[in-house]
Chain A
Amino acid sequence: MNRIDKKEAKHLLKQMMQIRQFEDAIMDLMARNIAEGGSHLYAGEEACAVGAMAAIRPDDYITSTHRGHGHAIAKGGSLPELMAEILGKETGVCKGKGGSLHLADVSKGNLGANGIVGGSIGIAAGAGLSIQLRGTDQIVLCFFGDGATNTGLFHESLNMAGKWKLPVVFICENNLYGMSVSVERACAIKDLTKKAVPYNMPAECCNGMDVLAVKDMVTKYAAKARTGEGPALIVCDTYRYYGHSRSDPRVYRTKEEEKSWRDRDCIITFGRKMQEQNILTEKEVTDLEKEVTAELEAAIDFAIKSPDPKPEELYKDVYFESPSS
């Protein structure tokens, strides 16, 4: 394990850089009032989405969260379309109707971000049920935060998945806080893997700042899910760098804590490791960075220049209407 080739190293590093730069760009667009409505940024947690997605196939499904930009990018979303969606533009992946909280790209197997904490966990169980009923060997990765493990839907869905052996890997991105409330203050137990116990599925914790650790862990349980052994819960320890939202003064955590996690930054540590192992050169890393910056600039330019949705779009898509009618 952990030996990877140049191509894969570049892929993982590039995706993490894409997400980081994407989120940094949104922070900047919000400061300039170009992006409205707020966004929950994924910066810091990139290794979770990128590592997990590297362990599954393009035809597998994911369900995402209110902090969903990283999942959408790692599941193969187009940067310009995602950026345009966040700005509410006609060219966005959801035609400007969903926005940051509802990023989805069904064509890529991304069943959507969600404005409701825990709101997509049942959807993941249902996608797993559909796989089982249709008899394919796809799987579902269900992402959610530590805070979501205190919702009713989490418990109801894990029970259902556990009982029916649904092919779902539940991935808890434990960034220590649900908005301002720490796991310690919100949860009756601190070790979130224990929450899988009553639902008869295995659970393991993994270093969510290490993209290869996440990839290995998800690979292990994805294989089980794919071969009918049922679901699992993986808890990735991670950290969000920015506040919960733009207006968050972060009084509930310390600068020291923030620094200690930034010292473990998933992009820096992975880049360094790849150089130490002579898989990537320093120049390759800096070139990747530049490549991503150029991509991002193009995506932002595309999004800003894209038109707003037309007024008649307001009433479209509420219902499906068959083309013949």
Chain B
Amino acid sequence: MREITYRQALNEALSEEMERDQRVFLMGEDIAVYGGAYGVTLNLMQKFGEERVRDTAISEAAIIGAGLGAAITGMRPVVEIMYIDFMGICLEQIGNQVAKIRYMFGGKTTVPLVIRTEGGAGRTLGAHHSQSLESWFLHVPGLKVVMPATPADAKGLLKSAIREDNPILFIEHKMLYNVKGPVPEGEYLLPIGKAEVKRPGKDATVIAYSRMLYFALEAAKRLAEEGIEVEVIDPRTLLPLDMETISESVRKTHRAIIVEEGTKTGGTGAEIGMQIIENCFDYLDAPVLRIAGADVPMPKSAVLEKLAIPDAERIYREIKTLVS
């Protein structure tokens, strides 16, 4: 199969969906002329024109609000928030308006809105450009949260997100844009809300998503050399969570580890871990383990930044301790 980057995969998804459906349009800061801060929308303005690929002012709240307004009146907007760190500016619009409007209106409207953004550390950009804030949004019923790790997942899930009649927060990772992987030629869709077993195993279940999936797979490989076979699951969608796939695995392996880049307290691991306890308590041979970011704002220093988030070495060590 051909290999393309995560960035190209996302670009293809946007392009294909815009070709397929005239109602799809893009809006965000520096997405048109510049092609996006991380190049995801490169050449789309040239292809679809400035009407459908729109540069906005630096007005995050209005980007979301206008996206919502367009979505409930016949369009299918895909809006971009350049860094997830800027979400605070539009959190009101997402939390109170986007996610709740259908319910508040008694189910009489749909919200076909995709909010694309990216997060994560790795570029030593400091506290305002490195965060993993996905867990903030797990607390928002009405929203779906998708976080692909591989190019193929990114493309298939973004295409599905654009076709879905619910608001979707689609979180990319800045360190994955250049990662290459096999992506099928031609049309395909991947289901939102479905996890995937990325590596089968029997000794423990590791749940890892976004960039952490790669670190978890690296750790799994090393553990396998020592005879420890861990099963690695990528939930891909964090809300709603595919507990069926996760539970099935944990009931088989009797151990669960959740790896996340975001800060530990109140994080994704807290939610997934609790659901594992609710669903699989009798099957667990060890406490559920969370491997997560340090509970600190992201420091600038490259040395401290590395310490603030999990890496393959730490995942390997902690799983080894748990399993042996």
What is the interface of chain A, defined by CB distance below 8 A to chain B?
36-38, 85, 88-89, 94, 96-102, 114-119, 147-148, 150-152, 178-181, 185-187, 248, 251-252, 308-309, 311, 313-315, 318
In the assembled complex, B123 has its CB within 8 A of some CB on chain A = yes
Partner of A96, one of B34, B59, B60, B301: B301
Q: A76 to nearest B CB, angstroms? A: 22
Q: B294: which A residues are within 8 A, CB to CB?
A: 314-315
Contact of A178 among B58, B60, B85, B123 (CB under 8 A): B58
Is the CB–CB distance between A38 and B128 below 8 Å? no
Known contacts A101-B128, A102-B127, A314-B304: A178-B86 contact under CB 8 Å: no
- B299 lies within 8 A of A314 (CB): yes
A180 touches B125 (CB 8 A): no
| 26 CB < 8 A contacts A-B | A37-B126, A37-B300, A88-B302, A94-B300, A96-B300, A99-B300, A101-B126, A102-B127, A115-B126, A116-B86, A116-B128, A119-B128, A178-B57, A179-B29, A179-B34, A180-B30, A180-B55, A181-B30, A181-B33, A181-B57, A186-B55, A186-B56, A248-B34, A309-B301, A309-B304, A318-B296
CA distance A119 to B304 in the complex (A): 25
B307 within 8 Å of A (CB atoms): yes
Contact call A38/B296, Cβ cutoff below 8 A: no
* Contact code string B88-131 (vs A, CB < 8 Å = 1, else 0): 01000000000000000000000000000000000111111100
Contacts of B86 in A (CB 8 A): 116
Chain A residues within an 8 Å CB radius of B302:
36-37, 88, 308
Q: What's the tally of chain B residues with a CB closer than 8 Å to chain A?
A: 34
Does the CB pair A252–B34 fall under 8 Å?
Answer: yes
B70 is an interface residue with CB less than 8 A from chain A: no
B19 located at the interface, meaning its Cβ lies under 8 Å from any Cβ of chain A in the complex: no
Nearest neighbor of A96 in chain B, beta-carbon distance: B301
The reply to whether A181 and B55 form a contact with Cβ atoms under 8 Å apart is: yes
Q: 10 extra interchain contacts, Cβ-Cβ under 8 A, other than A116-B85, A186-B55?
A: A94-B300, A96-B301, A97-B300, A102-B300, A115-B125, A115-B128, A150-B57, A180-B55, A181-B30, A252-B33
Interface of A is mostly: loop
* Mask: chain B, 246-281; 1 = CB below 8 Å from A; 0 = not: 000000000000000000000000000000000000
Chain A residues within an 8 Å CB radius of B301: 88-89, 96-97, 99, 308-309, 313
A37 touches B123 (CB 8 A): yes
Q: Which of B34, B59, B127, B299 contacts A151 (CB 8 A)?
A: B59
Closest 6 CB pairs of A and B: A115-B128, A99-B300, A150-B57, A37-B124, A180-B34, A88-B301
Per the bound structure, the CA–CA distance linking A186 and B59 in Å amounts to: 10
Does chain A have a CB within 8 A of B1?
A: no
